[in-house]
Amino acid sequence: MTRWGMVIDAARCVGCQACTVACKTENQSPLDAWYAPVLEWESGEFPDATLNYLPVLCNHCEDAPCVTACPSGALTRRDDGIVMADEDVCIGSRACMTACPYGALHFFEDRGTVAVDAAPAGPEQSVPERYAHQRHVRGAVSKCTYCAHKIDFGIENGLEVGIHPLATPACVVTCPAECRIFGDLDDPDSNVSRYLAERGPSEVLRPDAETLPSTQYVGLP
Amino acid sequence: METVLGARSGTAYGEGWVRSACTICMNRCGILAHVNDDGVVDKILGDPDNPHNHGRTCAKGDAGFEGLTDTDRITTPLRRTNPDKGVGVDPGWVPISWVEALDEIAGHLRDTIADDPEKILYTSFDIYHLRGALAASWVTGLGMPGYSTWSAAIFCGNNVHGILYMNQNAFESNPDPIYSRYILNFGAQFGSVVHYDTMHSTHELSVRRDDVRMVSVDPVCSSAAAVADEWVPIRPGTDAALILGMVDQLINELGIYDAEFLKNSTNAPYLVGSDGRYLRDAGTGKPLVWDVDSGAQPFDAGTANAALTGTYTVDGAAARPGFQMLADHVRSYTPEYVESITTVPAATVRRLAREFGEAACIGETIEIDGVELPYRPATVAWYRGLSAHKHSMLNGMAIILLPTLIGGIDVPGGLLGDPWGLIGKVKDLEYTSTASDDGLISQGFIGGGRVGGLYPPRPTGPPRTTEMWELLPCAPYGTVFSLLNSEQPELFGAPPFPSMMINFQSNMMKSSGPPEVVERFIKRIPFVAAIARRFEETTLMADIVLPDVHYLERMTPLVYQHLASGDSRHAAYGAKPVVQSSIEGPVPGEPFVDAMQIYLELLKRAGRLSHFNEAFNNIAKMREPYKLDADGDYSYFEICDRWLRNTLGDDRGLDWHLSDGLWTDDKTVVQKYPRPFFDARAQVYCEFMVDTKQDLERTVEELGVPWETDDYQPLPDWKPGPAYERTSPHDLFVTNMKVPNHALSHTHKNSILSTLSNRHNDLKSVWINPRTAEARGISHGDLVEIETSGGRKQTATARVTQLVHPEVLATQGCGGGWSTGSGDGEVNFNALLNIDVEHIDFVSGALDCAIAADVRTVPAGRGGAR
Amino acid sequence: MTSLGAASGGGGPQNVFMDQFSLEARTQRVWDLNHAVWFTLMGLGGGVFLAGRILNLTEGLGSVLGIPTVDVVSFVAIAAGGAILVADLGRPLQFWRAFVNIRTSWISWGAWSDLIFLVVAGLLVLPALSLGGSAPFEGLGWDPHGTDGAGLALEIVAGVAAVVVMTYAGAVLARPRAIPYWNSPAVPLQFLLSSSAMSVAVVLFIEVAAGEPVSAGQMVLLGLLCSGLLVAVVVHLVTDVTAPGKAESLDRLLRGRYRVRFVWLVLVDGTALPAVLAFVGAAASGARDVLAVVCCGLLLVGGFWLRLLTLRVGIFPPVHIPSAAGR
């Protein structure tokens, strides 16, 4: 079986937010929704202080609390481990949002923005925001899909998933520090498995939540 | 010729992906842009085949398509009807035809050229044109010596470019991302996505991050300091003291320096007499060195063992090698003295020097492509943080000593130069340098910008322009004097002021100083034309506005020619239209793809086309059969085709550019690490400063202008800047830093990036140390007012943080605009600057950006909540 | 920005992780007032039905269109709660999909229990329906008060559904581990006890309104329920007090912005005071009716605030607790 997963080497992250923006343009998430932000925090006291970075995204948990909580069945976990939100099925209960320890679910509120096919766009409205209304369902919840559409495209077209830019999550492709590795966690010879063998063991976020994430970390501060 | 634009080609990525180049920052990464079924560009990828950015993009590049389809784009030439100009004044734009607009601008060009072509001011920081032959030929064709990069020339490389030309014949330099193991950032952000060569270096560093130690000396824990192994907070404007303290430790305490390199590849052994000048051979006039066996002899007499230290008597006169002069000079920079100036603990000064020296691996070699090369994996990075100060050139002379002392220049692990003086020489890549009669690196800059080197110094004379270039023999730029002369016209005898200005991709009003100062400057210029995609603060000051295209609509060949040294591949590529602009351009029936089309029309109308053609042949190093005929009237597309074929080969013309457009090649070891392969020497002791000072003092005395010449000295010193002695309540420094998700001033209206910065790197905030905040009764999130000792004010939101020196108020980015689409409540740092004699470095033309300031909470009822 | 303390709520995007990209504890802002109202109404609806049946108070306390007042109050509460629930959905027209995931989703369980309750309890009382003097469903043949076999069967099914209705809101909160303050059996228990106490008090109020005397036993029951609720609340306040996320929740309830409302409206008004008054009422027959009415008012207010404040102190701990401070 394939279980797609991402290893993030937090020690490599330079906090540039390329992933954050690449994700937005790839997935055309609504303006308020950032599926893959880089969290910051300060630590220490002057002069021994520093700013730390932590890239986050959906953890694509094996035991996904969002899937468990979702009443409509909109949230499902594919056989390859990717947790998907079917926005057409979602009823907008937002139970998933309180169930997810990672803040990975995003409710698309209608804030009166203009659809791309409606009035001409003003300078304040970004391209992803305009397309968000075509790409996403208002009143529904959307999320990181590990760019499942790119993975599926890659498999259909014989491209190497996790390597080829059209078959790899946008956040992975853009990262200048290459702190993200994407591949099959179940394949011991995959890039992620090899990286973990070398730099692991991996850690996960909110281990207390026992969600068995497919997004795993090394080099966490 | 007929060319199909907007072809979905150039990549293996199929329909919808177009290969081009990014123009958002100086890195000019290779990109693939995606056009969706609506014809909208909705995605940008790094070009995976491009060795410069390895298929990576940053946040800015990812969001670069924003603005393409905006409704506020300028689509037709406009004429101002309101004679009154200024911030907040409605220009009363009326649309006019291209013919009318071009004729009028060309008329001004003709008149000004007839008077004095140097009275044309062309301000541009267009990144595509910046290093290319096109814009250089346009200004040369007009009869100007070069164009003004304007704001960059006030804040950026004032102590960088000349210094690097002097010691490595490069316009700029970077640590070796593959072999450097100890990287000292001085107020720079190498290692984060803020500095130059970001994608390549971030990629390479990340691969070997565990093996590299990075140290950031910075008043603020910037994004680079955050990812460094150590942040060394320092009082602003005092870096030179720390550097000279390290030099003292390296030479006088630790004895760590690369003697072989200093003897053979620098002027360190040149004997210096009591007057500060070289001792010269009576016959040849060559500088002398002291051979430990045979005594004084010319530096190029084949001496294998020239003395670096000691005092010698030559013809009865006492002399010391330049290195000994330096060793003696820096003795006063004891760690304890350095601590008192910089606040960096004396123990840290000692430790940094030792770490740097030990990491330099002096004596070690490494084999690259089968060739044994010196291995010097310790290096430094600096830019604006060291440069934007009074005494800037002294800072630059100090910092270059560190890589020079360890022989860490253009060798594996060292400081690698980007010699973009080699414009147009992609197929002729040999990195060489002409040596002066004194054996020193002396190939100055060749290219379009009004940029000068440090050595050899230029002759002085009466100023011919308001930039007073003729009184700045060692400066790369004189731009800041334009503002000073505008503010105080009689101070230097009112040198000639520009009669007209053409502004393109340079938002001077926002990016170069207090808006009211720049406003007065621009108002004094009788005629201003601007080329712009949308109304920026500077566009609003123009008399005639011409439309511009978005960078994803542009076709500009060879915007990137990767010639920098280092163990990577060469690459050359350009920009091509990802989508074709619907805006009508200056040439009827020709797609509008570049402002160069406007310039060609202007040159034609001003009768300067033949001058352009000749300049282009010269600058682009055009050969037969591609050379332009002096009397020819070529379309922009024809010129591009010829230029491409001339540069990359006959089979790589415009069609190749549009269908492929990426040229890469291996480098030879000489191209990778050139220093060991040529003879011209770098400088440790800047002897030329002695005569330059004398010459300049004579000139200014004759002219009767007040001028500062104290900083023309052969060895650097730390000297206090204007804010060093601060008095209550203005006892803090206000400073500014770059953020990774904005590039200079021109990404602030990108809606994705501005939304992001409101969430993250807040352009509205000022960083205040908790100790300082407490003493002033400021809490996190308070609305505060920064007031400089000069009475200039900005409001900001307080971010109380441990990440800033207690004496510092740190602002971020270049926000605070007022044109449509600008963010509210952003800090305009430039509005706090002082354009006066006290804050300008008279050697480098830098403007001091560490300003004495106070901060206090805004009284209730004022300003309102943010 | 320096602390890992909980960011305050209020305004901004619904995904609380998104308003600043800082690693810190985050207060959920997904559910607030609307949810507190429908949680309260559902608890009340299920509880009033059950209390009416258990205390045998369906008869003699008046009726609306022939249907016992207590049942009417129950139905109205559940229908209103359900309407608010549906209106609060992002896509209300798709509400029927809430019934899909009965395998794991407590909201689906809740949807089914609401439906089953309304259908079964509605069937149960249908024979009593009187429209303009006629009772069209009289012939259905079971006792709306559940005294015969069919009636009892319906009553039991409706009763079980009512228990689920009273509990599931708490279970929705308690099941995921994301928010430690919620992730405890104490929360559904509190909701169940609060619903029971509120419901008994409402039934007693109806009793008083109908001119019937409140019994000492009823007041003792009320007192016990209030006492139980107090214990459930206090025990939750003193367990796992340092757990990340829960510590912030407790801080906000006991020391921070909700201190006054939590102490006075939930602890005193909503539990301790009605417990005392109920026991006093049990002993002092003269004041019993008045005290029952007072308890009803106090408990309704307290029950609502218990739910609202529980929602508002729903705090996600930081997604990562850094191992060491400093560089």
- Is position C2 within any domain? no
Read off the CATH number of the domain in which C81 is found.
1.20.1630.10
What is the DSSP annotation of C83-128? HHHHHHSSSGGGGGGGGS-TTT-HHHHHHHHHHHHHHHHHHHHGGG
Dump pLDDT digits (tens) for C243-275. Answer: 999 999 999 999 999 999 999 999 999 999 999
Å from C316 to nearest chain A CA? 7
Q: Which residues pair with residue C316 across a beta bridge?
A: C26
Read off the CATH number of the domain in which B395 is found.
3.40.228.10
Residues B146 and B191 in one domain: no
- Is position C327 within any domain? no
The full 3-state SS of B186-230, as one line of letters, equals ECCCECEECCCCHHHHHHHHHHCHHHCEEEEECCECCHHHHHCCE
Query: How many structural domains are present in chain B?
Result: 3
d(C-alpha C227, C-alpha C271), whole Å: 7
- Is position B602 within any domain? no
- Is position B331 within any domain? yes
Check if B62 contacts A (Cβ < 8 Å). yes
Residues B355 and B499 in one domain: no
Please state, as a whole number, how many other Cβ atoms lie within 10 Å of the Cβ of residue B116.
15
Q: Is B464 helix (H, G, I), strand (E, B) or coil?
A: coil
d(C-alpha B126, C-alpha C274), whole Å: 75
Q: What is the pairing mode between strands A105-107 and B295-298?
A: unpaired
- Asked if A152 and A188 count as a contact pair (C-beta separation under 8 A), the reply is no
Q: What value does the mean pLDDT take over residues B267-274?
A: 98
Q: What is the pairing mode between strands C67-68 and C63-64?
A: antiparallel
Q: What value does the mean pLDDT take over residues B364-385?
A: 97
> Minimal CA–CA distance to B522: which of B248, B821, B121?
B121
- Chain C hits for B760, CB-CB cut-off 8 Å, are 20-21
Phi, psi of B241 (to 5 degrees): -65, -45
d(C-alpha B812, C-alpha A56), whole Å: 25
pLDDT at residue B346 tops 80? yes
Q: How confident is the model at residue A119 (pLDDT cuts 50, 70, 90)?
A: very low
> Which of C2, C20, C21 shows the shortest C-beta gap to B802?
C2
What is chain B's length? 866
Tokens 């409302």 -> residue: C261
Dump pLDDT digits (tens) for C181-204. Answer: 999 999 999 999 999 999 999 999
The residue of chain C with its CA nearest to that of A38 is C21
pLDDT at residue B563 tops 80? no
Check if C242 contacts A (Cβ < 8 Å). no
Dump pLDDT digits (tens) for B208-255. Answer: 989 999 999 999 999 999 999 999 999 999 999 999 999 999 999 999
> Which of B45, B63, B751 shows the shortest C-beta gap to A173?
B45
Tokens 């199929």 -> residue: B14
Q: Percent helix, strand and coil across chain C, each rounded to 5?
A: 65, 5, 30
Please report the residues numbered 16 through 45 in chain C whose beta carbons come closer than 8 angstroms to any beta carbon of chain B: 18-21
Tokens 């230097």 -> residue: B492
What are B510's two structure tokens? 């926002």
Does the distance separating the beta carbons of B45 and A174 come in below 8 Å?
A: yes
Read off the CATH number of the domain in which B468 is found.
3.40.50.740
What are B90's two structure tokens? 């409605």
Does the distance separating the beta carbons of A11 and B221 come in below 8 Å?
A: no
Q: How far apart are the first and last CA of chain A?
A: 32
What are C322's two structure tokens? 């850094």
Residue A156: CB partners within 8 Å, gap ≥ 6?
none
- Chain C hits for A105, CB-CB cut-off 8 Å, are 15
pLDDT at C17: 43
- Asked if B270 and B321 count as a contact pair (C-beta separation under 8 A), the reply is yes
Domain span holding position C118: 18-316
The residue of chain A with its CA nearest to that of B344 is A47
Dump pLDDT digits (tens) for B799-842. Answer: 999 999 999 999 999 999 999 888 888 999 999 999 999 999 99
Dump pLDDT digits (tens) for B468-511. Answer: 989 999 998 899 999 999 999 999 999 999 999 999 999 999 99
Q: At what angle do helices B239-248 and B392-399 cross, to 10 degrees?
A: 30
Check if C89 contacts A (Cβ < 8 Å). yes
> Minimal CA–CA distance to B658: which of B23, B2, B47, B9?
B9
Quickly list H helices, A62-179. Answer: 65-69, 95-99, 127-135, 148-156, 170-174
pLDDT at A112: 44
Q: How confident is the model at residue C58 (pLDDT cuts 50, 70, 90)?
A: confident
Q: What is the dihedral of CA B207, B209, B211, B217, to 10 degrees?
A: 140
> Which of C2, C21, C327 shows the shortest C-beta gap to B759?
C21
Dump pLDDT digits (tens) for B25-52. Answer: 988 999 999 999 888 999 999 999 998 8
- Is position C138 within any domain? yes
State the best of C2, C4, C16, C17 to mutate against chain A, taking most chain A CBs within 10 Å: C17
Q: What is the pairing mode between strands B230-232 and B213-217?
A: parallel
Check if C177 contacts B (Cβ < 8 Å). no
- Is position C325 within any domain? no
The verdict on whether omega for the bond into residue B456 sits within 30 degrees of 0, i.e. cis, is yes
pLDDT at B758: 81
The Cα diameter of chain C in Å comes to: 82
Residues B351 and B499 in one domain: no
The count of C-alpha atoms lying within 13 angstroms of the C-alpha of B641, restricted to the half-sphere facing its C-beta, is 11
Q: How far apart are the first and last CA of chain C?
A: 17
- Asked if C194 and C44 count as a contact pair (C-beta separation under 8 A), the reply is no
Dump pLDDT digits (tens) for B383-394. Answer: 999 999 999 999
The verdict on whether omega for the bond into residue B335 sits within 30 degrees of 0, i.e. cis, is no
Phi, psi of B816 (to 5 degrees): 80, 35
> Minimal CA–CA distance to B778: which of B864, B856, B682?
B856
Å from A138 to nearest chain B CA? 20
- Burial class of residue B546 in the structure, from the number of CB atoms within 10 Å of its CB (0-12 exposed, 13-18 middle, 19+ buried): buried
The residue of chain A with its CA nearest to that of C106 is A69
Check if B217 contacts A (Cβ < 8 Å). no
Residues B277 and B176 in one domain: yes
Kindly provide the b/e burial profile for residues B563-582, where b requires at least 16 CB atoms within 10 angstroms of the residue's own CB. Answer: bbbbbbebbbbbbbbbbbbe
pTM score, whole prediction: 0.93
Does the distance separating the beta carbons of B753 and A46 come in below 8 Å?
A: no
**Chains in contact with chain A (at least 3 beta-carbon pairs closer than 8 A):** B, C
Does the distance separating the beta carbons of A123 and B70 come in below 8 Å?
A: yes
A115-119, B521-525, B592-596, C174-178: segment of lowest average pLDDT: A115-119
Q: Strands of B244-390 (E only): list them.
A: 271-272, 288-291, 295-298, 312-314, 317-321, 365-368, 371-374, 378-382
pLDDT at residue C107 tops 80? yes
Measured at the CA of A174, the angle between CA B32 and CA C14, to 5 degrees, comes to 115
Does the distance separating the beta carbons of B230 and C1 come in below 8 Å?
A: no
> Minimal CA–CA distance to C320: which of B184, B579, A219?
A219
- Burial class of residue A111 in the structure, from the number of CB atoms within 10 Å of its CB (0-12 exposed, 13-18 middle, 19+ buried): exposed
Last residue of a domain, one of B547, B568, B593: B547
Q: What is the pairing mode between strands B500-504 and B120-124?
A: parallel
- Asked if B231 and A50 count as a contact pair (C-beta separation under 8 A), the reply is yes
- Chain A hits for B69, CB-CB cut-off 8 Å, are 121, 127
Å from B42 to nearest chain C CA? 23
- Asked if B164 and B451 count as a contact pair (C-beta separation under 8 A), the reply is no
d(C-alpha B768, C-alpha C277), whole Å: 55
Does the distance separating the beta carbons of C21 and B760 come in below 8 Å?
A: yes
Residue C35: CB partners within 8 Å, gap ≥ 6?
C88, C169, C307, C311
Last residue of a domain, one of B503, B527, B547: B547
Does the distance separating the beta carbons of B230 and C2 come in below 8 Å?
A: no
Q: Which strand (E) or helix (H) includes residue B232?
A: strand B230-232
d(C-alpha B565, C-alpha B375), whole Å: 15
Phi, psi of B757 (to 5 degrees): -70, -25
CA C19 to chain centre: 31
ipTM: 0.94
Residues B793 and B837 in one domain: yes
pLDDT at C1: 34
- Is position C1 within any domain? no
Check if C2 contacts B (Cβ < 8 Å). yes
Residues B412 and B468 in one domain: no
Residues B146 and B92 in one domain: yes
The residue of chain C with its CA nearest to that of B769 is C2
- Is position B467 within any domain? yes
Last residue of a domain, one of B521, B547, B573: B547
- Asked if B373 and B173 count as a contact pair (C-beta separation under 8 A), the reply is no
- Burial class of residue B457 in the structure, from the number of CB atoms within 10 Å of its CB (0-12 exposed, 13-18 middle, 19+ buried): buried
pLDDT at B435: 85
| Mean per-residue pLDDT over chain B, rounded | 91
Residues B241 and B293 in one domain: yes
Does the distance separating the beta carbons of B56 and A175 come in below 8 Å?
A: yes
Domain span holding position B542: 78-156+448-547
Does the distance separating the beta carbons of C323 and A40 come in below 8 Å?
A: no
Q: Which residues pair with residue B378 across a beta bridge?
A: B182
- Asked if B231 and B747 count as a contact pair (C-beta separation under 8 A), the reply is no
Q: What value does the mean pLDDT take over residues B341-355?
A: 98
Å from A163 to nearest chain B CA? 11
Tokens 């990629």 -> residue: B203
d(C-alpha B727, C-alpha B444), whole Å: 43
Q: Which residues pair with residue B121 across a beta bridge?
A: B501
C94 φ/ψ sector (left φ>0, alpha ψ -120 to 50, else beta): alpha
What domains, with CATH codes, occur in chain A?
4-218 (3.30.70.20)
- Is position B464 within any domain? yes
Query: How many structural domains are present in chain C?
Result: 1
**Chains in contact with chain B (at least 3 beta-carbon pairs closer than 8 A):** A, C
CA B587 to chain centre: 34
Read off the CATH number of the domain in which B780 is found.
2.40.40.20
Amino acid at B254: L
Top-confidence range, A130-134, B424-428, B514-518: B514-518
Check if C312 contacts A (Cβ < 8 Å). no
Residues B104 and B187 in one domain: no
> Minimal CA–CA distance to A77: which of A91, A60, A92?
A60
Å from C193 to nearest chain A CA? 23
d(C-alpha B765, C-alpha B753), whole Å: 16
Amino acid at B389: H
Q: Is A143 helix (H, G, I), strand (E, B) or coil?
A: strand
Amino acid at B279: L
- Is position C7 within any domain? no
pLDDT at A120: 41
Q: How confident is the model at residue B432 (pLDDT cuts 50, 70, 90)?
A: low
d(C-alpha B150, C-alpha A133), whole Å: 42
Tokens 């207010």 -> residue: C301
pLDDT at B756: 87
Residues B202 and B339 in one domain: yes
Å from B61 to nearest chain A CA? 8
Across the B:C interface, residue pairs with CB atoms under 8 Å apart total 16
d(C-alpha B259, C-alpha B248), whole Å: 16
B231-245, B490-504, C4-18, C79-93: segment of lowest average pLDDT: C4-18
